[in-house]
Amino acid sequence: MSAPRSIRRREPGRAAAHLPQTLPLLLRRVYANRNIVSTAELDHSLGALLSHSSLAGVGAAAVLLADAIAANERIMIIADYDADGATACALAIRGLRSCGARHVDYLVPDRMRDGYGLQPPLAESAARAGAQVLITVDNGIAAHEGIARAAALGMKVLVTDHHLPGASLPGMCIIVNPNQPGDVFPSKAVAGVGVMFYVLAALRQCLRERGWFARQGIEEPNLASLLDLVALGTVADVVSLDHNNRIFVAQGLARIRAGRGQPGVRALLAAANRDAVRAVSNDLAFAAGPRLNAAGRLTDMRLGIECLLTDDRNAAHRMAVELDRLNRERRQIQAQMQEQALNDLGPVDAAGAAPVLCIYRAEWHAGVVGVLAAQIKERVHRPVIAFARDADGMLKGSARSVSGIHIRDVIANVNAVHPGLIARFGGHAMAAGLTLAEANLDHFARAVEAELAEHWPAPEATQALWSDGELADADFTLETAMMLRDAGPWGQSFPEPLFDGEFTVSAARVVGNDHLKLSLAAGPGRRALDAIAFNQAGDVNLGAGDRAHLAYRLDVNEYNGRQSVQLVVEQISAG
C-alpha cells in the first residue's frame, strides 16, 4: 500500500556562507538547508519574540478586557475541542485570573452534538450562565451567526483566531487574527494559543499603564510561565515553525525541562512514558498532544482543559491517566478504520492515483477521521479527506495535506466554483474541516480532484524525501545525535534533519506489530549501528549481507537508563 518516495538532497545555496564558522560544520549545513542565513534566526530568547504592537485589533482587545476586569464582569471563554483550542483556553483562564479577573469560565462545544466554534446555541448557553464578555479562542473568524446571536443577547465578543477568514468578517465584535485582511503582523503562522498569548501581553501592558496592578496590590504576572501551554498548542496544531513559533516552542520546552511547566503538561508526558527533563518537540507532537486531543475526539474536551488548569499534581495525574486511556481507545478505533480504508483503497499507484483521495464509511467515528486522514496521507503522499456521518445525517470531513498544497485554499476554490456544494468549511494550509450533505460527496470528490489537477502541483512532485545528504562515518555518534536533537526545535516547515546513505544489513527482524529492527554492519571507521523502521516490516525483505539505501534520522535511544545512537529509518530501498 505504501507508495515509495524519491529522495532528493537539499542544496544550501548561498545561505551557508552567512552562518558563523564557529558552528559545527554539520549544523551549518543543516541550518543552511533550511534557509537560515543569520544567527539572529537561531536566537530563541524571549527578547527575540515579535512584539504584539503590530497585531491588528490587539489594542482594542486589551481595552475591552481591562475594562471588563475593572468592572468585575463575567468573562466566558469559547474554546475549541482540539489541542490548540484547549491550550488557548487554559492559557486565557490562567492569564486573565493572574491579571485580576475574578469571574472567568469557559464553554467548549461537543464535537458530535454542537459542531465547531461559536454557534448560536452556545451563545445562548453563555448568556444563561451570566456571561457579559465572550472570548473565542482558536475559532470565531467564521462565526457570523453565533456572534450576532451573542450581540443580540447583550454580550461583548472578542474573537481570537488564526484560521483564514472567508469572504467577509463577522461584525459586532473585536477581531485579533494575524490572517485577517490588512493585518501586518509578520508571523502569519502563529497558532490560536499564540494569538491568545499576544492578547494577554497587550492586556498586561494596558493594565500596567492604568496602574491597575499597583492599586490592587497584584503582582504583575509573568506570562512567560505559561509558555509551555503555547508550545504544546503550537506543535500539536502542526503550524509552520517560523522563527517566532520556534521561540515559543523553545521557551516552552525549556520550562518543561526545568520542571516549571503546568502540572497537567508534565502529567501528559509522564502518562506517555516521556521524560520531561529531556522533552523535545516530538514529545509534544506525538505524546502530549494526542492524549490531550483524545478527550475532544471521543468524549468532551473539558477533561483535557481541566488537566491543563489544575495546580494539583495528583489531580493532573489522574486526569492524564484517563486521557491516556482515551487515547488507547482512540488508537483502537483508528486502527480498525485504517484497515477498512486501506482495504477500500487497495494498491495506490503514485503516478496513476487521483491527486486527492476522498474516503468515507458511514460507520466511521467523526472524532477520529482527522487522524485517519493524516495516517493515510503518510502512506499515499497526497492530500486525503476522510468523512464520517454526523448525528444530523450530514458528512463531517477532515482534510490533511502535503507540502505545497494549501488544502483550505483548495476547498475555498471548490466552494467558489460550486456554490452550495459545501455547507461549511475552514482551516489552514495543512489541515481543514468541512461539512456537506451525503448526496454531495461524489460531486465534491470530482470537484476537488479537478481543482487540484488544474491549479496545484502534482503530489508526487512535492512529496520527495528531502535529505541533508550523507553523514560521515565520524558523525554516527551519540554526541552528534544529541547535538542535532538540541539544535531545534524541529517541526512543520522546519524539519528534523534527515540523511541518506548505503548500508550493509547484518541482521533484520520484525518487532511489535509491523516494525523492522535492523543491525547495520560496521564500515571503515564506523562501528555497527542499530536502526528501527516503524510500520515498514511489510515493505521490504532484508536479510544478513543485503545492501540497503536508507533515509534516516539520527536519534538518541534511551533504554534502561542507557543512551545510545540509533537510526530511525524513514524509508528503505533494497540495494
Task: List, in order, residues 6 or more apart from 355 with CB less than 8 Å away.
Answer: 382, 383, 449, 452, 453, 456, 458, 459
pLDDT at 537: 78
Indicate whether 304 pLDDT > 60.
Answer: yes
pLDDT at 410: 95
Judge whether 432 and 399 are in contact, CB under 8 Å.
yes
Cα separation, 440 vs 420, in Å, equals 10
Query: What count of Cα atoms within 13 Å lies in the side-chain half-sphere of residue 79?
Result: 30
Least confident span in 10-24, 44-58, 112-126, 358-372: 10-24
Average pLDDT score over residue span 72-89 = 97
Cα separation, 404 vs 27, in Å, equals 26
Indicate whether 179 pLDDT > 80.
Answer: yes
Considering the domain delimited by 49-324, tell me its CATH architecture.
Answer: Alpha-Beta Complex (3.90)
Least confident span in 124-138, 261-275, 377-391: 377-391
pLDDT at 71: 98
Task: Render pLDDT for 534-551 as a digit per residue (tens, 0 to 9).
Answer: 988 777 888 888 999 999
pLDDT at 1: 44
pTM beyond cutoff 0.75: yes
Q: Supply 93's cell numbers.
A: 483562564
Q: Supply 275's cell numbers.
A: 521524560
> According to the CATH classification, is domain 347-462 in 3.30.460.80?
no
Indicate whether 443 pLDDT > 80.
Answer: yes
Query: What count of Cα atoms within 13 Å lies in the side-chain half-sphere of residue 229?
Result: 31
Percent of the chain having pLDDT more than 70? Answer: 96
Closest residue by Cα to residue 196 from 315, 77, 352, 281: 77
Most trustworthy range by pLDDT among 3-7, 174-178, 530-534: 174-178
First to last CA, the chain: 20
Higher confidence at residue 462 or residue 123?
123
Indicate whether 283 pLDDT > 90.
Answer: yes
Helix (DSSP H) and strand (DSSP E) numbers for the chain: 19, 17
pLDDT at 460: 62
Indicate whether 126 pLDDT > 50.
Answer: yes
Judge whether 351 and 460 are in contact, CB under 8 Å.
yes
Indicate whether 187 pLDDT > 50.
Answer: yes
Task: Render pLDDT for 322-363 as a digit per residue (tens, 0 to 9).
Answer: 999 999 999 999 999 999 999 998 876 544 568 899 999 999
pLDDT at 391: 79
Q: DSSP assignment of 162-213, as one string?
A: -SPP-SS--SSSEEE-TTSTT---S-TT--HHHHHHHHHHHHHHHHHHTTHH
The three-state (H, E, C) secondary structure of 220-288, written as one string? CCCHHHHHHHHHHHHHHCCCCCCHHHHHHHHHHHHHHHCCCCCHHHHHHHHHCCCCHHHCCHHHHHHHH
The three-state (H, E, C) secondary structure of 493-522, written as one string? CECCCCEEEEEEEEEEEEECCCEEEEEECC
Going from N- to C-terminal start, the domains of the chain cover: 49-324, 347-462, 465-574
Task: Render pLDDT for 466-512 as a digit per residue (tens, 0 to 9).
Answer: 999 999 999 999 999 999 999 999 999 999 999 999 999 999 999 98
- Length, in residues, of the chain: 575
Task: List, in order, residues 6 or more apart from 516 with CB less than 8 Å away.
Answer: 508, 509, 510, 532, 533, 536, 537, 540, 542, 569, 572
pLDDT at 393: 87
DSSP state of 574: E
Task: List, in order, residues 6 or more apart from 82 with CB less than 8 Å away.
Answer: 138, 236, 237, 293, 296, 301
pLDDT at 352: 52
Mean predicted lDDT score pLDDT of the chain: 93
Cα separation, 173 vs 155, in Å, equals 10
Cα separation, 432 vs 424, in Å, equals 11
pLDDT at 16: 66
Closest residue by Cα to residue 508 from 457, 474, 456, 550: 550
Task: Render pLDDT for 194-246 as a digit per residue (tens, 0 to 9).
Answer: 999 999 999 999 999 999 999 999 999 999 999 999 999 999 999 999 999 99
Average pLDDT score over residue span 253-281 = 97
Task: Render pLDDT for 144-174 as a digit per residue (tens, 0 to 9).
Answer: 999 999 999 999 999 999 999 988 999 999 9
Task: Render pLDDT for 392-428 as a digit per residue (tens, 0 to 9).
Answer: 889 999 999 988 899 999 999 999 999 999 999 988 8
Backbone angles phi, psi at 153, to 5 degrees: -90, 5
Strand 547-559 relative to strand 529-533, pairing = unpaired
pLDDT at 427: 85
Indicate whether 13 pLDDT > 70.
Answer: no
* Dihedral angle of Cα 314, 316, 322, 324, to the nearest 10 degrees: -120
Q: 3: pLDDT confidence band, cut at 50, 70 and 90?
A: low
Q: Under DSSP, is residue 432 helix (H, G, I), strand (E, B) or coil? A: strand
Question: The domain 465-574 is classified under which CATH number: 1.10.287.130, 2.40.50.460, 3.30.2130.30, 3.90.1150.10?
Answer: 2.40.50.460
Closest residue by Cα to residue 440 from 457, 417, 421: 421
Q: DSSP assignment of 282-323, as one string?
A: HHIIIIIHHHHHHHHHHS-THHHHHHHH---HHHHHHHHHHH
